[in-house]
Structure 1
Amino acid sequence: MANYSNLTVLIVDPNVGMRGNLHNMLNQCDITKIEYAVSSGTAVRQLRKKPFDVILCEYDLGNGQEGQDGQQLLEDLRQNKLIELWTIFIIITSERVYSKVIGAAELSPTDYILKPFTVDMLLQRITKALEKRADFFSTYQAIMQGNLREAIRICVLGESKLPRHAGEFLRLRAELFLQLEEFEEAEKIYLQICDTERPLPWAQLGLAKSWFQQGRLDEAEQLLSGLVSQNHKFISAYDLLAKVYEAMGKLGAAQSVLNDAVGQSPHVVRRLRRLGEVALENGDAESAERSMKQVVAKAKYSEFRDAEDHLKLVQALIKKGDATQAAGVIRDLEKSLRGNPKMEACRLMSVAMLYEATGNAANAVEELNKAVSVCSETPGISSKSLIALAQHCLSNKLDDAATNILLGITSDINSEVTTNMAMDIFEKADRHDLAVNMSQQLAQQVKDLLRQASEKAALGDLRGAVSIMQEAVHKAPENIQVLEASANMMMKQLDAMGWEHGVGEQIRNVLDQIKRRDPSYLQLFEMMKSYRALQAKYGIAATA
């Protein structure tokens, strides 16, 4: 038997007897570095302090009572990046309700074990997981270091040297091309797998993703519709099909697909949240209320509660015309999320919307002004919530506040809201004057950012200059001169400070953007030449 004495294990189980049994089983496998968590909350706190090689997690963390389950904990850990790619996460359950089992499997734990099981069965699962981890470890390391091209190179080698994992390496390689936004390369791999008598569902899903990202919505919709009709339990296909319908402007169809997905797998919070958001946008207040109530209830025991869930529930209730229940949700928000960094901003937005809905214009304006002030100082508020706040400001003639909110959104390089989308909000509100004003302010801000970046670079702060240039690109993504200046600044950083894979990929993406917008752009050839010279300087031209 292999030596597992250095293996670290975290047991997550509220039942003291089960924790003891697992501890004894692990000891029989020569595993002694064992720690416990009695709930999802204590597990999160321990994982924030240090990593573990293996996590053995009971599915029913509520011990039969209402509470977060192992599936939801896995979702939280993955979304908040508290576990590494190589962490082994095994769900232990006696739960035979199929919807719950498929929900857990859908979120891809390393494995799951149904009780009762023996020491030999547990050891076999751990051994199998460790062997696979060893085979993929160098790939995971490259991904964690941001060197996705090296990860792709390792995948190619793995396909030939480890034929038992060839399919998984091929799949991972395609997913890495998607991350690099090289959608045509990913498409080639997926087409290769799909061009068989029995195409694999995951490859069809990947192909649809590549088409979706290329804007080929009709093809993606047709493929995904067939995929979900043939594979009723393939929940990820439902999720992507809903995104396709949203992009096509078919909110009713998107809501219907998400509703079907929730019916198949009813315990995933992020999907319930998305269903609530789409239903709200589609004007279906009752469905939005139903979904957001479930989200609030299920997230109650999570370490990652989001105050915006209460805000969305308030919006649904207001749209439904239930001011009394909306006021109750606001009270619960204030009570149950006291200390949450987003609580006050969400409370003020909720109160302002409730005042507006009940005809109290003066108080609505007062609370909106407070909300705008607090939101400007509160990180993490979603673009959707901020846009809703801006729209309510417009409804109450707070033009400057609405403009400042949207300018703030366009300053956030992590926001998916483009400048055109922000200005379209004014156009839809029949405020062309504000759209023109915002366009002028954005143009001036971009000029100021270019000047600030130049000053930073002159002082030797190249990282700071690159960061400022990224904000300028976010504000003016169609401006080729801004794209050129950004790429040149990043190349200047790499030339002076050494190669960084993430920055190298950003340069490549910016050059691709310039090429797509104007293939004959005069400076493009020299920029490509400078980029290749940088690659050669650091000996990575063959992999980048």
Structure 2
Amino acid sequence: MADPQRPPTLVGGRALVIDRASEMRAALGQGLAACGVANVDYVPRVSDALARLNQSSYDIVLCEYDLGQGFDGVNLFETSQRHQLLKPSAIFMVVTGERRLAQVMSAAELAPDDYLLKPFSGGELIARIERAVRRKGRFRVIDDAVRVGDYLAAVASCDEVLATDAPDAVEFRRMKGRLLAQVGEHVAARDLYRELLAERDAPWALLGLGRAQFSLQQFDEAQQCFQRVKSENELVIEAYDWLARTMVAQGDPKGAQEVLQDAAKRSPLVAQRQRALGGLAHRNGDLEAAEAGLNQAIELSRGSFWRDPATYGELARVQLERGDIGAARRTSTRLKHDFRGDPAAEVLLQLVDAAVAEQIGGDSKLERDKARQKLKEACDQLEDMDDVPAGVLLEAAHACYARKLRDQGESFVRKALRSSHDDTELMARVEGLYQSLGEPETGSALITAATQDILELNNEAVRAVQAGDLAGAAKRFVSALESLPGNVQVLLNAVHTILSLINRDGWNPQYMHLAEQYLSRAKRLDPANGKMRQLIDAYRRTQRRYGVDAPGAAPRTPEPNDQGADKAA
């Protein structure tokens, strides 16, 4: 572990400068050079910045507040945090003019590490950077653990620093809370945030407490936290998003839409926010707002790595409900262009084209039959595919129900729920589907059944593990994944059981191959899942324990005191 007492420095570090003005980029680069930073990337646009952040690990990011078209530096920081694009010690500094200072400062405790007020001198820039380095540089002790995905080791590093009565203990406790949430330790995160709030009234801690309570399905308490942050810090837009999500989980989609509309007025250029707003508006029968939100979500995410083909499908449905066949056809063209080569998107394209063809055909039985045949072919392809995103399955269900294919529609709903049985937003969309059909009780029954099925499977395997029958539990999970190939929780539970079995009974190449496949599938379906991060590290430790660090290597017999993988798995 790095020495926490060593004075932090940016010498040899890497920086990203984000500003539309070339002269400002040059000025910021000169300041960074004076601090010893020789490797600096410069970008003028948000899309370029996100691409760079996704590809590289930066020590410092200097970002202009006003990034154009309504997007700002605080939005960019929020997006970077949500998708874990910044390492713990990374400095994110917003550069702004005086008239924008209030907006930056209102969110400063939750977002940027510092701000720089324009106009500034070279000396002021250097002083700000050095101050931020001193304050944030001590997080480098946990960078290495986060870089290799060992989030539990990162938590342990925080605890080591906290045991020394560090002067910046609050910042390390704040980082620990974030790390606990990332690895799915929501009870521990909740308790930590409660301790912090008992000592000081910090909006970031209240927001963290609300997120932990939401993950634990303590929705009443979570809603109170988010409502309070929103009321006391109206420019902390993340609180609006979480409040709306909680209201949906509580069965108040209209109230949630109002909250998101308020958030979108203040910060309109966040794709996930617009996607959620469009979906809620559609559910509430507000087709104009639905089309606007979904359209905006697609535009904001085009060319990025956070695109969802189901958004295009829902937008086309909204446009057809509004009677705008031309707009739906244009959406179909965009879907084909943006997801070329994606099998699930290609099936979704067929579903959209079938709906368009049916509406164009009007009362013509021949055209209706052609559209119905297209739908059947699309559904048949979907049935034969693995790892279909839950949103695409739900779009297929909508298409089937619209054409009176109840059994097929219900089958897709069941598959969507079984793949994401703990996704509250998906459950809300399923509830919306059956409410539109006048059958809310059917949606509730399907959600309950899917949840119970997964719980029974997990409980059965857990009982086998508790009885010492790891081999039996592993077989149950492997068998279950034949019918639940896209359920992330079952995938990860299977990996945990397999690794435990191997670390107890010895190397098994077939099971290790399955564990690798399951982890790859889980990462593709839910890249931000905390438990998945832990298990990737456990998988690597198990490989190292048996001397299999590369495919094809022969396993060795572990030494009796070789306990690393046992702890991890």
Fold equivalence (TM over 0.5): yes
2:281 and 2:412 mapped to 1: Cα distance?
25
Q: Are residue 491 (structure 1) and residue 494 (structure 2) matched?
A: no
Provide, for residues 468-511 of structure 1, a one-character-per-residue CA deviation record: whole Å limited to 9, x for no partner. Answer: 3783796899x99x99988654421233369999689779xxxx
Residue 268 (str. 1) matches residue 270 (str. 2): yes
- What is the alpha-carbon distance in structure 2 between the residues aligned to residue 49 and residue 178 of structure 1? 24
SS at match of 1:55: strand
| Partner Cα distance (1:29, 1:503) in 2 | 38
Tell me whether 1:31 sits opposite 2:34 in the alignment: no
d(CA) in 2 for partners of 1:379, 1:60: 43
Cα deviation, residue 47, structure 1: 5.1
**Corresponding position: 1:249 with 2:255:** no
Secondary structure at 2:174 match in 1? helix
The answer to whether structure 1 residue 17 and structure 2 residue 23 are counterparts is yes
**Alpha carbons 1:409, 1:415 under 8 Å: kept:** no
Partner of 1:164: 167
CA deviation after TM superposition for structure 1 residue 291, in Å: 1.9
- 1:83-129: per-residue Cα shift (whole Å, max 9, x none)? 43433333434484579747985983443433322222222233233
Where 1:391 maps in the other structure, the secondary structure is helix
Q: Which residue of 2 is the match for residue 517 of structure 1? A: none
Aligned to 2:62: 56
How far 1:70 sits from its partner (Å)? 5.0
Structure-2 change in CA distance of 1:233 and 1:60 (3 Å): closer
Match of residue 88, structure 1, among 91, 105, 122: 91
Structure 1 pair 230–313 and aligned structure 2 pair: CA distance change class (3 A): same
What one-letter code is carried by the residue in structure 2 that aligns with 1:212?
Answer: F
Equivalent residue for 1:225?
Answer: 227
Identity %, equivalent residues? 26
Alignment partner of 1:113 out of 112, 116, 119: 116
Aligned counterpart for 2:393 among listed residues 373, 383, 386:
386
The residue type equivalent to 1:108 in the other structure is A
Q: Confirm or deny: 8 A CA contact 1:9 1:55 kept in the other structure.
A: yes
Partner of 1:237: 239
Q: Distance in 2 between matches of 1:107 and 1:199?
A: 13
- 2:563 corresponds in structure 1 to 538
Q: Does 1:471 align with 2:477?
A: no
Q: By how many angstroms is 1:277 displaced?
A: 1.5
Q: CA-atom RMSD, angstroms?
A: 5.2
Instruction: Mark the CA change 1:148 to 1:228 in structure 2 (over 3 Å): closer, same or farther.
Output: same
Q: Offset of 1:296 from its aligned partner?
A: 3.4
Q: Aligned partners of 2:168, 2:212: CA distance in 1, in Å? A: 23
Deviation of the 1:146 alpha carbon: 4.3
Contact 2:77-2:112 at 8 Å conserved across structures: yes
Q: Which residue in 2 is equivalent to 1:296?
A: 298
| Equivalent in 313, 329, 332 of residue 330 of structure 1 | 332
Distance 1:431 1:168, change over 3 A: closer
Paired residue type of 2:162: E
- CA 474–98 in structure 1, closer or farther in 2 if over 3 Å, else same: farther
Whether the 8 Å CA contact 2:13–2:39 is kept in 1: the answer is yes
Give unpaired runs (5+ residues) of structure 2.
1-6, 462-470, 516-529, 537-559
Amino acid at match of 2:287: A
Aligned 8 A contact 1:103 1:267 in 2: no
Q: Paired residue for 2:554?
A: none
CA distance in 2, matches of 1:38, 1:484: 44
Task: Using CA pairs under 8 Å that are at least 6 residues apart, name the structure with larger relative contact order, 1 or 2.
Answer: 2
1:165 is aligned with what amino acid?
D
Amino acid across the alignment from 1:388: E
Instruction: Give the aligned partner of residue 313 of structure 2.
Output: 311
Which residue, 174, 177, 201 being the options, matches 1:174?
177
The equivalent of 1:531 in structure 2 is none
TM-score by length of 1: 0.70
- TM-score (structure 2 length as normaliser): 0.68
Q: In structure 1, how many angstroms separate the alpha carbons of the residues matched to 2:332 and 2:492? A: 44
Number of residues of Structure 1 aligned to a counterpart in Structure 2: 493
Query: C-alpha distance in 2, partners of 1:490/1:411?
Result: 24
1:252, distance to aligned residue in structure 2 (A): 1.2
Shift in Å at residue 270 of structure 1? 1.8
Superposed displacement of residue 273, structure 1? 1.7
After TM superposition, the structure 1 stretch with the greater mean CA deviation from structure 2, 242-251 or 34-43, is: 34-43
What is the DSSP-based 3-state SS (H/G/I as helix, E as strand, rest coil) of the residue aligned with 1:164? coil
Tell me the secondary structure at the aligned position of residue 241 of structure 1. Answer: helix
In the superposition, relative to structure 1, how do residues 417 and 389 fare at CA in structure 2: closer, same or farther (>3 Å)?
farther
Instruction: Give how far 1:366 is off.
Output: 3.2
Tell me, what secondary structure is at the counterpart of 1:114? strand
- 8 Å CA contact 1:410–1:417 kept in 2: the answer is no
Q: In the alignment, what sits opposite 2:289?
A: 287
Gaps of 5+ in 1: 451-460, 508-534
